[in-house]
A and B are shown apart, each in its own frame.
Chain A
Amino acid sequence: MANMRTMSFDAVIVGGGGSGMRAALQLSQSGYKTAVITKVFPTRSHTVSAQGGITCAIASDDPNDQWQWHMYDTIKGSDYIGDQEAIEYMCQTGPEAIFELEHMGLPFSRTEEGRIYQRPFGGQSKDFGNGGQAARTCAAADRTGHALLHTLYQGNLKSETTFLNEWYAVDIVKNEDNAVVGVVAIDIETGETVYVKSKATVFATGGAGRIYASTTNAHICTGDGVGMALRAGFPVQDIEMWQFHPTGIHGAGTLVTEGCRGEGGYLINKDGERFMERYAPNVKDLAGRDVVARSMVLEILEGRGCGPDGDHVYLKLDHLGEETLNAKLPGILELSRTFAHADPVVEPIPVVPTCHYMMGGIPTNVDGQALTIDKEGNDQVIEGFYACGEAACVSVHGANRLGGNSLLDLVVFGRASGIFIEKQLREGINLKEAREADIELAMTGLNRINNSADGEQASVLRAELQTIMQNYFGVFRRGDFMQQGIEKLNALRPRIENVALDDKSNAFNTARIEALELQNLFATAEATAIAAEGRTESRGAHAREDFQERDDENWLCHSVYFPDSKTIGKRGVNFNLKTREAFEPKIRTY
């Protein structure tokens, strides 16, 4: 590849969503030469679909609110495998990060006092679970992600970040010391392949909800960062932990915000019963998402589902009145009318638990540095490599993410990664140059696809993969089923590696991109399957019929999936709070 062009930056951020653009903003504001590689124009990233808000103790709704209460809720919500040091950092730093966004122009909804409007979300409490429901989710109507993403893009335009829009990162380039020194990327418009060299490479590639057949995630959520990290031999953590959002629109999969229930909406079964009263007597429809999703599936399995096939339940909003719905949930009215053909002002929305969020990802420390685990079981920093947002597992969500915490995670840790890399760049980063052979190695996967001679279509293989994941690794899981699922994945692997690319043209060839994305979907799915089969307990979003109890003795820990051996290891949960004693695991009820 002697004639391949090289571009060189201080920092390269892969992914132009919320976390990537927050990291980029930090670095370009400090004058470092920063590039964002993004496969879609930045405001088309999946952050745009976040609706309900960003949870943070800014003490607007309740002047006495405390970030420590938010920390408690998040740790409990994580079913105690969220790292407490990271959660403490997120909840404590959060208000500063939110106010920065507001100063940048984010059009938050407002209270009569002129402060940022906050609404109640699931799993929120005051006084460490003793003071009743809190309203802690800062909102811009029900378009918070859109408002946040556009504000961050605008901020980056102001600070003159370099955007490589509609570029697709193919694989990581490692030097002879196994440090990350950039990526190989394709300019989608021209098809040119470029080595994008960097002193710091940040993966902010988002989630991979498209491994499931039914997902709230955009088409672009294909686990590109996880796939690249695994191919480079780096581990991923807690990848079995997938959140199924209680309210995806039945059939379409599009998200209906938890903010609907925060504003007073509730779920009903075919008898019109508000069934969450049985499963979570205290907070009802505002229990953790894992709890609500499982309750819904049980209602459906026990024959109380709605519709001709009894395969969904209803979300009732009409009692809130048209005025409130127009003011607080205008986007939901639009989505429901378009995709469910139901007008929430007069009728309920058909909803079903739908794959929504990847709690696991590339393990990192609080500074965004990506980690691997050495033979003695100690954390090792991977030089030059960072991750933040949904692609990372820092881990603030543990086994179950609370609503509104994903936007906070991506802002706080995008910012933290930027701040840390700034410091490192100031002190000097000296990594060995990649050799010709190192770059050649990163081209392997792309070369294989470019040279494909036969094989099956990406769309067919993708659909098969999604069906396997949906059927064998869904809301409820069972060992023998999962083993069957893993066998099916094994059979699918060579077919996916041999995917067809009939059209080898260069200009905006989306077939090539989809073939590459398929490899990342498969890598993420395989890691999910093996980790899910390996964790022999039920915790948070991981619910096993054959191991129904949480097993703190054996599994109060992270799972770590190693791609070379395709095995699972364990990594300790961080219980080191700086400001108080750790929160000990308790039975989790709502």
Chain B
Amino acid sequence: MLNVSIYRYNPEVDAEPYMQDYQVDTQGKDVMVLDVLEKLKTEDPSLSFRRSCREGVCGSDGLNISGKNGLACITPLSSAVKGNKLVIRPLPGLPVIRDLVIDMSQFYAQYEKIQPYMINNSPAPAIERLQSPEERAKLDGLYECILCACCSTACPSFWWNPDKFIGPSGLLQAYRFLADSRDTATEERLANLDDPFSVFRCHGIMNCVQVCPKGLNPTKAIGHIRSMLIRSAT
């Protein structure tokens, strides 16, 4: 039997959060953490968490699993269980709505701040805008972000300033548009980021890189943005 300890909090019932212990029979199989949560929910339907695709592409089930942020649906027990114990908490740093469900408004607000859409005011051609495979390759490692918030909620700079520091996820997306040969708003985008907090609160701690379930590298993207900001200032 696997010992599982889960963060519980229902604002209508509980004065404060607590850890609830469960025992789960995994029949020795190396299932995913989400499978364990689903099994527990059949026994205790009051346990709340988000989930959707169960294959690591929708970004719903970002959780703090035995101390590390990751997606429950693609984290096998073998990489999360320590001493026959699995500890599941909500992603840190954002308000908890209930149990493992956090309020992500601040995270989404930072995403919206970077104008996460193509800006190109030249008249569109009758077909697609052309882009070479080399230009397109610059978007690899950027566009794949699933907005799960594992990175931003692992970032101490985001914990301190979630309202002012864009955070690794938002900055990765900022660079996704800066790097796109079809986007023409580079100056405007850089101007919007050019303050002491939006980008420069990143201290290169690289927790974001360590936890990204898609293997992306926000620190590198932030480095590129820094260089662009410094270049545009000189």
Contacts and interface: CB of A to CB of B under 8 A. Distances in A.
B111 to A, nearest CB: 9
B98 A105 contact: no
B45 A338 contact: no
Nearest to B176: A107
Contacts of B41: 459, 510
B55 A49 contact: yes
A505 B12 contact: yes
Nearest to B58: A44
A254 B133 CA distance: 29
B12 A113 contact: no
Nearest to A458: B45
A376 interface: no
B144 interface: yes
B118 A104 contact: yes
Interface in B67-120: 74, 76, 97-99, 101, 103-104, 108, 112, 115-118, 120
A481 interface: no
Nearest to B74: A338
B13 A49 contact: no
Contacts, number: 154
A334 interface: yes
Nearest to A254: B55
Interface in B131-168: 131-133, 135-136, 139, 143-144, 146-147
A335 interface: yes
A453 interface: no
A95 B128 CA distance: 10
Contacts of A147: 143
B128 A46 contact: no
B42 interface: yes
A6 B118 CA distance: 35
A116 B60 contact: no
B180 interface: yes
A103 B101 contact: no
B11 A218 contact: no
Interface string A499-519: 000110111111100100000
Contacts of B116: 154, 157
A102 B58 contact: no
B129 interface: yes
Contact of A48 (B11, B45, B58): B58
A143 interface: yes
B48 A99 contact: no
Nearest to A155: B117
A189 interface: yes
B53 A103 contact: no
B136 A109 contact: yes
Contacts of B232: none
Interface string A320-353: 0000000000010011001100000000000000
Contact of B144 (A98, A146, A157, A458): A146
A103 B118 contact: yes
Given A43-B146, A459-B41, A507 B129 contact: no
Nearest to A512: B45
A49 B57 contact: yes
A110 B133 CA distance: 5
B117 A40 contact: no
B81 to A, nearest CB: 17
A218 B133 contact: no
B15 interface: no
- Which residue, of B12, B58, B99, has the highest number of chain A Cβ atoms within 10 A? B58
A189 B102 CA distance: 10
Nearest to A100: B124
Contact of B11 (A112, A507, A511): A507
Interface string A439-477: 000000000000000000111100000000000000000
B60 A503 contact: no
A206 to B, nearest CB: 11
Contacts of A338: 55-56, 74, 76
B233 interface: no
Given A43-B146, A49-B58, A104-B117, A502 B46 contact: yes
Interface in B164-185: 177, 180, 182-183
A65 to B, nearest CB: 13
Contact of A105 (B59, B99, B144, B183): B183
B180 A44 contact: no
B180 to A, nearest CB: 7
A260 B127 CA distance: 27
A518 to B, nearest CB: 12
Contacts of B104: 41
Q: Give the top 6 A-B pairs by smallest Cβ distance, nearest first.
A: A105-B118, A114-B130, A154-B117, A459-B42, A511-B45, A102-B128
Interface of B: 10-13, 41-42, 45-46, 48-60, 74, 76, 97-99, 101, 103-104, 108, 112, 115-118, 120, 124, 126-133, 135-136, 139, 143-144, 146-147, 177, 180, 182-183
22 contacts: A43-B59, A43-B147, A45-B58, A48-B53, A49-B53, A49-B57, A58-B128, A102-B129, A107-B143, A108-B128, A108-B136, A109-B136, A111-B133, A146-B144, A157-B117, A189-B103, A254-B55, A331-B57, A338-B56, A457-B45, A458-B45, A507-B98
